[in-house]
Structure 1
């Protein structure tokens, strides 16, 4: 499997659910500490918002990861040091892939891996926080339709 799983197609979350492309996951299987679930949901939403501002609506074309290295490293470290330890299983895997995508974007000075990172946070935010959006990418191990 590729370090950064690519999306096949986009659909709406409701369509994906109807087609069985969104797996139901118990919080016990993805959170190390159940008392922090709501905080993690909020943090995932915040990071998704940050990535929307940074990359959304065509802005990704003007982003230069090398020039934003300090800011991006801080986001990567936050994911690795704060979020990852609070998770387990597939959610941990998704967050590690997202952090790796930021690192790879810095290393290659290419936003392509950042787009995948954005899609991971997008899909997590949409499902966890029940956000109504047009696009659901189906790129996470946590909520994807196939077993991890």
Structure 2
């Protein structure tokens, strides 16, 4: 009888472990499927920054112009690594958001908004980048694409980076409203 109880406990434990593994596998498969289909999740952002009405394309905080240029270039380079030349089709969001480079991007965006760029259209673009980062962290690959395009367009204009202009920034383009619609959950995937 004692042996039967030991076997029963072992089998119960084994079944519990298998159920946990099965539920984790189901979650990861659904997450990856969402990424592959580029389906936006229900978008939830922490609304901590407000957009302003500005005439100027870009204004810098005192003595910050050089730092802003460097941070825009550095983070555009990083986002190119994640999204360029078909890389975005292979990206695993849950892996990149755990990396130090992703945390550095977050810190740099915060710095650019709070200490680097003064009230201007470019500041609004960086606020959008902040929100697209949040949505990317929820598993939305398209948000990563838009995050890259914001930095790309800023780098093209601010640092004279040579490349296609996506025209998605408020400072240097006309399509920023489509990004705003996407953030509100009303946008179309590109």
TM-score by length of 1: 0.71
Q: Given the alignment, which residue of 13, 32, 40 partners 2:68?
A: 40
Q: Match of 2:112?
A: 83
Q: Match of 2:123?
A: 92
Q: What is the DSSP-based 3-state SS (H/G/I as helix, E as strand, rest coil) of the residue aligned with 1:41? A: helix
**4+ residue runs over 3 A deviation:** 24-27
Unaligned runs of 5+ in 1: 4-23
Quote how far apart the aligned CAs of 1:74 are. 4.0
Q: What is the DSSP-based 3-state SS (H/G/I as helix, E as strand, rest coil) of the residue aligned with 1:140? A: coil
Q: Match of 2:134?
A: 103
Q: Given the alignment, which residue of 122, 126, 130 partners 2:156?
A: 126
Q: What is the DSSP-based 3-state SS (H/G/I as helix, E as strand, rest coil) of the residue aligned with 1:48? A: helix
Q: Contact 1:73–1:103 (CA<8 Å) still a contact in 2?
A: no
Q: Match of 1:52?
A: 80
TM-score by length of 2: 0.57
Q: Given the alignment, which residue of 118, 123, 139 partners 2:168?
A: 139
Q: Match of 1:115?
A: 145
Quote how far apart the aligned CAs of 1:145 are. 4.8
Quote how far apart the aligned CAs of 1:77 are. 3.2
Unaligned runs of 5+ in 2: 1-42, 44-54, 178-190
CA distance in 1, matches of 2:120, 2:57: 11
Quote how far apart the aligned CAs of 1:25 are. 4.9
Q: Cα deviations across residues 47-86 of structure 1 (Å, max 9, x unaligned)?
A: 0000001110000011111222233344223311x11112
Number of matched residues?
120
1:31 aligns with 2:60: yes
Q: Contact 2:56–2:120 (CA<8 Å) still a contact in 1?
A: no
Bigger Rg, structure 1 or 2:
2
Q: What is the DSSP-based 3-state SS (H/G/I as helix, E as strand, rest coil) of the residue aligned with 1:51? A: helix
Q: Structure 1 residues 26 and 90 mapped into 2: Cα distance closer, same or farther (>3 Å)?
A: closer
